[in-house]
Amino acid sequence: MWRVGLVFGAVAWFVSLVGLVEALHGRWVVDGVLSAGQVLLLAVLLASGWTAARRFSASLVGRLWAGLLAGATVGFCVGLLVWLRSLVDLRTMFVNASPALFQLLSGGQPARVAWAAAVAVGAGVGLVGGAGACTPARVVRPILVGAAAALSLALFQELVLLVLQPEPLAPVRDWLFVAGGGPTAQGIAATFAFSAALAALRQASWGRAGRVALPPKAQRVLWSFVGVLLLAALPIAGGPFVAQVLVIVGLYTLMGLGLNLEVGLAGLLDLGFVAFFAIGAYTVGLLTSVGDHGIAHWSFWAAVPVAVLVSLIAGVILGIPVLGIRGDYLAIATLGFGEIVRLLVLSDALRPWFGGSQGVLAIPKPVLAGFEFSGPQHLYYLTVVASAVVAYVAWRLQDSRLGRAWMAIREDEDVAEALGINLVSVKLLAYGLGAAFAGVGGAIFAVMVGSVFPHSFQLLISIQVLALIIVGGMGSIPGVIVGSAVLIGLPELLREFGEFRFLVYGAVLVAMMLLRPEGLLPAAAQRRELHAAEEEPAGLARTPVGAATEGGA
Amino acid sequence: MALLELEDLHVYYGNIHALKGVSLQVEAGEIVALLGANGAGKSTTLNTVSGLLRPRSGAVRLEGEDLTRIPPHRIVERGVVQVPEGRRVFGQLTVLENLEMGAFTRTDSQGVREDLERVFALFPRLKERAAQVAGTLSGGEQQMLAIGRALMARPRVLLMDEPSMGLAPLLVEQIFDAIQEINRQGTTILLVEQNAYMALQVAHRGYVLQTGQVVLSGSAEELRENPEVKRAYLGG
Ligand SMILES: Nc1ncnc2c1ncn2[C@@H]1O[C@H](COP(=O)(O)OP(=O)(O)OP(=O)(O)O)[C@@H](O)[C@H]1O
Ligand SMILES: [Mg+2]
């Protein structure tokens, strides 16, 4: 138990010393009472209690005791840090070990008192965590949902305030937020209660109706109508900043849908995917630019099909040399391709054509029937339409003959070949179509920024696209959208914590792989693979259903 | 003219000379057994027929047409289909999806439905488990699925690589019954086996392969009685 405590104690040290706690401390969860930094520390304590209780005991008392002990150990670690600081100046090694941080950790008390207090608070919170582990999930889940909602209110308060800007909404605003400060206690409490109640209700209705029951057609139409309205209203309600974030999410969705064909469906790992995004962007840039490097002064609409075609061809060209390569080697080869494209457009030798590190400038905004897509709020609609079209194409591909061939080569290339699947054409189509999708994204990116630079096409983008597919759920189209919203959208919205972005990224990825390796919204096959043992009874239960559909097909 | 004819095949893995001039014929409607010890070149022979390997010299002819220049997927379209060694089913897909994958090259959905029924009639166990994930099937069921999947391509010549490998005796019987039934329904079979006893029970003729060369051939009966075969493959 104390070992779990030590692990979480290390986590507490870590988040403190990298400066995450202090950064979050600048954000009120309840104005003047509780900061997000404190919430983070509390969450660490709760998690330690919960984990220890889960791991070490089955009995109620045992679990409470385990939670208490683990929490106390974490508290001890935090106290130790405070005490250490009173002896030596930690700042020579940890730049983030600032006075403000220790003011927060020690509560302004002298080190010894603070140490004792930390152990006591830790034990108390750990006990609560342990109690949580003894409570049935049906109770815990709504509480977690409520807490998440309340926390979101605090973290995204600018956004909420933005939406509540109009004067008629002022009373709501003033009730939820302290003027010029964080959420009020009543606001947080109400958000928590409301969301928790909603989650509890939903859970109860699930229990009755059964989770698998599909909504009738009318209901589905209604929902998609609501969804479209919501999508259309988002940038208007949220303003240019939100629209900008959504455009970026859309661009990553486009890339994600493309890479999903390669990695998710066909099982061909590609770490150089950003190359196709770059090629799409440069093609549009060169064809439409009114600056030095413009070659055609075409309109955006004429340039997009060309960009898609050029990306597609580039995908096939990448595909040809790597046809016979599998697995890890494929990852390295494609990695090289991504870098080659970036270095080519960066190179001095090709500067007369691509502008070197200066890039291609003066790319005009698209104009449609006299209407100029100037700001992010306009480009948002362009992105949404493009994503919808591409998602539709991806969805049709998935269920097509080609989609099945991709699935077969993902599962077993040799057998697929023996069953009559033409590996060459099927693989090249995966690379080509995936690249074409990314090319659409690149085209919009070019007009969004108004210029394209080699610097915009770093390896990191390829990695992010891959990560969002994994988090969303390999091979799943809704998963791509969710993945890019979570991995790209959230960090963009939380810009002020930007420096911790990749720290959180890494943590989220590790946690995902441990807790939910199939992704947030997995495709059926992945779920089966990773939960084969648990699913087996379900598989058997489904047999008559499967037989029935097969008879009807 | 034989339906399938292998003539003087030489196949290399790099420098390893795996097949050193293999010739054999399979007549329409036959079951032909290809016997041999581990590493004799049996799988190599089948993979060369299905186009997964290319011979350095020699020919594989289907009704006189040379297959050695034709890509594997076209060979499947011509009706030569392999059941790979070691029952490699698509583990994450369901039984039904696996079977549908077998019909990949076909466009006649009516015929595919008929063949699905035919496979289910042959292996009722697969019908019961149509919605089950193939990776969770037992070894014997996976072998049935691998055979069924190949049948979905409606082969004229079925190439089977050690269908009895690692199966319990009772299941081996079942699989060999199915092989005979498939043959009765009109499919020609080239059967690679280590279980020479069972193979020579169902086969009409057989060849014995040793380090990449055919060392013996004859009717199943002759081979069963052959003292060398008895000693080396039949345990007595
Ligand atoms: N991919 C390969 N690379 C190099 N050598 C190979 C390869 N595959 C097979 N061989 C060699 O070719 C020879 C024939 O192998 P093959 O797989 O055809 O034997 P087999 O008769 O099918 O044996 P088994 O009964 O064990 O399956 C062996 O000596 C083997 O080591
Ligand atoms: Mg073999």
Question: What number is the ipTM of this complex?
Answer: 0.89
**φ, ψ (nearest 5 deg) of residue B184:** -60, -35
Q: Does residue B213 have its Cβ closer than 6 Å to ligand 1? A: no
Q: What percent of chain A has pLDDT over 90?
A: 36
- Helical H runs in B8-159? 42-49, 72-77, 95-102, 109-122, 124-128, 139-151
Cβ pair B214, B226 in contact under 8 A? no
Give residue A1's identity as a one-letter amino acid code: M
Beta strand spans in A141-245 (E): none
CA A225 to chain centre: 25
Q: Per-residue confidence at A422, pLDDT binned at 50, 70, 90?
A: very high
Q: For B181-205, how does the pLDDT look when each residue is reduced to its tens digit (9 = 90+)? A: 999 999 999 999 988 989 999 999 9
The top-scoring range by mean pLDDT among A108-117, A278-287, A375-384 is: A278-287
| Facing residue for B133 by CB, picked from A417, A539, A545 | A539
Q: Report pLDDT for B31.
A: 96
pLDDT surpasses 80 at A499 = no
Residue whose CA lies nearest to ligand 1 atom number 29: B39
Q: Report pLDDT for B59.
A: 95
**φ, ψ (nearest 5 deg) of residue A472:** -70, -35
A405: chain B residues, CB-CB within 8 Å:
104
Query: Any CB–CB contact under 8 A between A418 and chain B?
Result: yes
A424, A389, A386: which is closest to A266 by C-alpha? Answer: A424
Full-model pTM? 0.83
Enter the tokens of residue A337: 């391709």
Q: Name which of B49, B99, B100, B133 to mutate to probe chain A: the one with the most chain A Cβ atoms within 10 A of its Cβ.
A: B133
For ligand 2, the distance from its centroid to the CA atom of residue A329, given in whole angstroms, is: 27
Q: Mean per-residue pLDDT for A184-207? A: 85
Q: Does residue B112 have its Cβ closer than 6 Å to ligand 1? A: no
For ligand 1, the distance from its centroid to the CA atom of residue A330, given in whole angstroms, is: 26
CA–CA separation, A404 vs B105, rounded Å? 12
| Facing residue for B131 by CB, picked from A423, A424, A547 | A547
For ligand 2, the distance from its centroid to the CA atom of residue B213, given in whole angstroms, is: 15
Residue found under tokens 């104005």 = A31
